[in-house]
Structure 1
Amino acid sequence: MTVLLFLVFLILLILGFPIAFALGISAFTYLIFSDIPLMVIPQKMYAGIDVFVLLSIPGFILAGNLMNASGITQRIINFCNALLGHIRGGLGLANVGASMLFGGISGTAIADTASIGSVMIPAMKKEGYDAPFSCAVTASSSTIGPVIPPSLPMIIAATLTGLSVGKLFVAGIVPGLLLGLGFMLTTYLIAVKKKYPKSNKQPLRVIFKSFIQAFWAIMMTFVILFGIIGGVFTPTEASIVAVIYAVAIGLWVYRELKLKMIPAILLQSAKTTAALMVLVGFANLFAWIMTVEELPLLIANSLLELTENKWILLLLINLLLIFIGAFMETIAALLILFPVLLGVAMQVGVDPVQFAIIMVFNLVIGLTTPPVGVCLFVASSIGQVSIEKIARAGFPFLLVSLGVLMLLTYIPEISLWLPGLFYD
């Protein structure tokens, strides 16, 4: 029956079904042929979404949409361009810098690619950057979003295992900064080699003015993060604070958010949340079937039979996740595999917080790798460039991501140092 479950799932993926429906239909097929009452479908789906911390997801999605409608993207880009534009390849550097700042608000890579890409990709092409590179740097840098807090995948990881959301948020700061700086260095080296343009150095007053314009947007990340770390509010309460903050900034500070725009923003946020919750529900049902079939135990034993050496085991898990991330959506893979692989990692002495960061980092790499790299598809649509050309141009950025992943894997302090300062 396990073979039937995965066979149906793979066939539906090949046929192009959305991942949520592929999970649901394959689980339904399994239940039909297993004579298990279909009543378990709503029971297990509801159990998957009936978790308090998941209430923070619609809040953060809504806050990100509100801030984006408030002109935040353009302000962040203006600030980064004023600060970095005079360096060779400055517009590319500004692209990465904007992703680092915007990622601390949206928490998702796709939102980053769409929002920043719609501004930066045409601007870079106009300035003389070739289109594949413009799309590649946008898609690659957007993967910083799910690593720097707030991060929706980290909220999911915490929900699955009972880990502290605050700890995971803090643990993602240094890896996110490392990834961003690595992308900046790569962008600069490519820009020097290809002689990409640079703009005139801006006077301090222009840089300061652009910073002031972006200040309230940047502060949103600090309000969320330090509110959670300081115990002022829970992640769910933080998401509501973020929504109130976004409305206030959009209406009365930036004044680009209009009351008549809010219903459409609410509807879009509700659609995104609903799609995500359906995915969480079906993935929980799928994971329950795997548990019934004792697949987690089989996977754990198989990995431990290969080796009990912590470092080799982590390498094998990384290879597995990179492969899976290329074919499966991040949150779906996280829901199905994280509890299983966490148990294996903890048996050989890996810290659960470190492993959560490794897992999230691994899977977001898949957002920029064919054939299912959704950020590649978004960038391709904006830049009117083929996926193959973007993937080829993005190869140096992929190497940077893999390099940072190895550092996270074999130097635990990178992800554990900050949580140790704030929580131990």
Structure 2
Amino acid sequence: MISLLLFGSFLIFLLVSVPIAISLGLASSIALLFSGKVSSSYIVQGLVTSIDSFPLMAVPFFILAGDLMGEGGLSRRLLNVADVFFGRYTGGLAVIGVVTSMFFAAISGSGPATVAAIGGLLLPAMARAGYEKGYSVGVLASAGSLGIIIPPSIPMIIYAVSANVSITEMFLAGAVPGLLIGLGLILTAYIKARKAGYTGDETRYTAKEKLSTVWEAKWALLVPVIILGGIYGGVFTPTEAAAVGVIYGFIVGAFFHKEIKLKCLYDVIAKSALTSATVIIIVGTATIFGRMLAIERIPFMIAEHIVSLTDNPILILVLINVLLLFVGMFMETLAAIIILVPILLPVVIAVGIDPVHFGIVMILNLAIGMVTPPVGVNLFVGARVGETSLEKASGGAIPFILAMFAVLALVTYVPWISLALVNLMGG
């Protein structure tokens, strides 16, 4: 009865458009009051203890670092580098969007932030070049999902905290799948552009011009080297790396590029604080929701039920992939991770699946969910920036979603792809 009340009230709140963080908190409160198993103060204590985490501090730092680097002109310089190397090829602007998103993903750690930063600069250029808006938004919204796959990734941090695994190992595990997604999107963009007749830029750049563009973008290109190199080299923790990213982004944007002005600094910090607050509230209320699930033993019952159906890891991964793809279509990524990890992790561990590998599979599924209606946040951001309808953006994203499906299947059933770097660095 309590379980029905918990899920039922949560769905009702979502249907009446209550924000997901508030829906999770209200549903948990209602279920807790009716159960009477713990006092109402449990909610307040849970909200505080769930965010009282040193690794979790990386989230607001990475959000601020990404906003500072976007404001400081790093994303524009990354676009310029991609342009001189890939702009002349068929579908060059789409390829530039994917390549730049791969680099910016290693800065922002956020899918919507990647779409907004790259789309704001590239979508007008694609429109001027005659690219169909649905195609343009579809490719950039799909490429934006790399923001949560290529490290550093905010959802990876949340998963690592929820599953009690190493953040560094999650970052290592996400590198190769992220590159495979990027290559899959580039190949799809090329094939679609070739059919549609989207030719590249006729401009030919000399070696000197290419080197000059790369030199101008050197501070942006150094970001992944500093942040990820520092983490993997043991120089600093992921949380400390996020703080280093904030300092680096501010210094480069304010003193080297001189594009971060004092008058706009407040707006950047306020925007980051608002985004961070939203994320932290979701983490807090989703954690309470997850604890209510644990009190009612729902994760254990689901785990026992799935294992009773089959103990074949391949079939279990099929069932879990279907569930995650469905959930990703309706639920915000961070909330889905916090709620589902306690439910699904015991199942995969019981059949011998590595929790780090499972984390990458979960994040790939939810990344696809960011590009699928009705709650495809990347599509909403891309459609708004590209000034087109959600329907056209969804249609344009279909070929790229199929490419992501192909990579998901490969990563799911070839664990080596996720774990090779983890095992290499661990050895």
| TM bracket (short chain) | over 0.9
Contact 2:290 2:342 in 1 (8 A): no
Distance in 1 (alpha carbons) for counterparts of 2:162 and 2:6: 22
In the alignment, is the contact (CA less than 8 A) between 1:338 and 1:359 conserved in 2? no
- What is the CA–CA distance in structure 2 between the aligned matches of 1:323 and 1:129, rounded to whole Å? 31
Matched with 1:210 is: 213
Gaps spanning 5+ residues in structure 1: where?
Answer: none
Structure 1 residue 220 displacement after superposition: 0.9
**DSSP 3-state at the match of 1:149:** coil
Aligned to 2:379: 376
CA RMSD of the aligned region, Å?
A: 1.0
In the alignment, what sits opposite 1:319?
A: 322
Shift of 1:73: 1.6
1:231 partnered with 2:234: yes
State the secondary structure of the residue aligned to 2:228: helix
Amino acid of the structure 2 residue aligned with 1:26: A
| Residue 83 of structure 2 is aligned to residue 81 of structure 1 | yes
Aligned match of 1:162 in 161, 164, 171?
164
Deviating beyond 4 angstroms after TM superposition, the runs of 4 or more aligned structure 1 residues are none
Instruction: Give SS of 1:198's match.
Output: coil
User: Where does residue 251 of structure 1 map in the other structure?
Assistant: 254
Decide whether the 8 Å contact of 2:9 with 2:27 is kept in 1: yes
CA displacement at 1:197 relative to structure 2: 2.2
Gaps of 5+ in 2: none
Partner of residue 304 from structure 2, selected from 289, 301, 304: 301
Q: Distance in 2 between matches of 1:189 and 1:206?
A: 29
Instruction: Give the alignment partner of residue 142 of structure 1, picking from 138, 141, 144.
Output: 144
How far 1:395 moved relative to its partner? Answer: 0.9
Name the structure 2 match of 1:10. Answer: 11
C-alpha contact (below 8 Å) 2:184/2:403 kept by paired residues: yes
Q: Separation in 2 of the partners of 1:156 and 1:43? A: 19
Check whether the contact 2:133–2:392 (CA below 8 A) recurs between aligned residues: no
1:193 maps to which of 185, 192, 195: 195
* Aligned counterparts of 2:327 and 2:386: Cα–Cα separation in 1: 27
Output the CA distance in 1 between the equivalents of 2:247 and 2:388. Answer: 39
SS of structure 2 residue aligned to 1:369: coil
CA contact (8 A) 1:171 1:415 kept: yes
Per-residue CA deviation, residues 137-195 of structure 1 (Å, 9 max, x unaligned), is 11011001111111000000111122111111111110010000100000000111110
Q: Distance in 1 between matches of 2:298 and 2:351?
A: 19
Among 267, 282, 291, the alignment partner of 2:285 is: 282
Q: Which runs of structure 2 are paired with 1:10-409 in the superposition (5 Å)?
A: 10-35=11-36, 36-200=38-202, 201-409=204-412
Output the CA distance in 2 between the equivalents of 1:250 and 1:386: 34
- Which deviates the most, 199-208 or 53-62? 199-208
How many Å apart are 1:34 and its aligned residue?
2.1
Other structure's SS at 1:172 match: helix
Distance in 2, matches of 1:6 and 1:341, equals 17
8 Å Cα contact 1:80/1:97 also seen in 2: yes
Q: Residue 326 of structure 1 aligns to a residue in which SS?
A: helix
Q: Which digits, 9 at most, give the CA deviation of each residue in 1:95-121, with x for residues without a partner?
A: 111100111100000001111111111
> Normalising by the residue count of structure 1, what TM-score does the alignment of the two structures yield?
0.98
Between stretches 64-73 and 196-205, larger displacement belongs to 196-205
Select between 32-41 and 81-90 the one with higher mean Cα deviation.
Answer: 32-41
Q: How far 1:387 moved relative to its partner?
A: 1.4
- Separation in structure 2 between the aligned mates of residue 162 and residue 394 of structure 1, nearest angstrom: 34
TM-score (norm 2): 0.97
How far residue 261 of structure 1 moved from its aligned partner, in angstroms, is 2.4
Q: Distance in 2 between matches of 1:185 and 1:263?
A: 41
Q: Is the 8 A contact 1:86 1:202 kept in 2?
A: no
Does the residue aligned with 1:145 lie in a helix, a strand or coil? helix
Contact between 1:171 and 1:353, CA under 8 Å: does it hold in 2? yes
Cα pair distance change 1:142/1:214, threshold 3 Å: same
Sequence identity percentage: 43
Q: Which secondary structure does the structure 2 equivalent of 1:233 belong to?
A: coil
